[in-house]
Amino acid sequence: MAAPLLELHGISKRFGQVVVADDLSLDVQPGDALGIVGPNGAGKTSLFGIVSGDLTPDTGQVRLGGNPITHLDAAARSRLGIGRTYQVPRPFEGMTVFENALIAAQQGGATRGRASHQLAADVLADTGILAEANRPAGQLGLLQRKRLELARALATRPRLLLLDEVAGGLTDPEVAQLVAIVQRARASGAAIIWIEHVVRALVAVVDRLVCLAGGRIIGDGVPSVVLANPAVREVFLGTEATAESFAAAGLVAGAGS
Q: How far is the CB of 9 from other proteins (least distance, A)?
A: 23
Closer Cβ to other proteins, 46 or 106, answer by number: 106
- Asked if 87 is part of the footprint of other proteins (rule: CB under 8 A), the reply reads no
- Asked if 208 is part of the footprint of other proteins (rule: CB under 8 A), the reply reads no
**Other beta carbons within 10 Å of 24:** 23
Burial class (CB in 10 A: 0-12, 13-18, 19+), 22: middle
* Separation CA 249–CA 237 (nearest Å): 14
Q: How far is the CB of 51 from other proteins (least distance, A)?
A: 12
Residues linked to residue 191 through DSSP beta bridges, in sequence order: 160
**Could you tell me if 54 and 85 are in contact, meaning their C-beta atoms sit under 8 angstroms apart?**
no
Residue type, 165: E
Which member of 44, 145, 157, 233 binds other proteins (CB under 8 A)? 157
Rounded to 5°, angle at Cα 169 from 166 and 172: 85
The count of residues interacting with other proteins (CB under 8 A) is 59
Rg of the Cα trace of the chain? 18
- Asked if 123 is part of the footprint of other proteins (rule: CB under 8 A), the reply reads yes
- Asked if 71 is part of the footprint of other proteins (rule: CB under 8 A), the reply reads no
- Asked if 51 is part of the footprint of other proteins (rule: CB under 8 A), the reply reads no
Interface with other proteins (CB under 8 A) = 52-54, 73-75, 78-79, 84, 86, 90-99, 102-104, 106-110, 112, 114, 117-123, 125-128, 130-135, 152-157, 184-185, 187-190
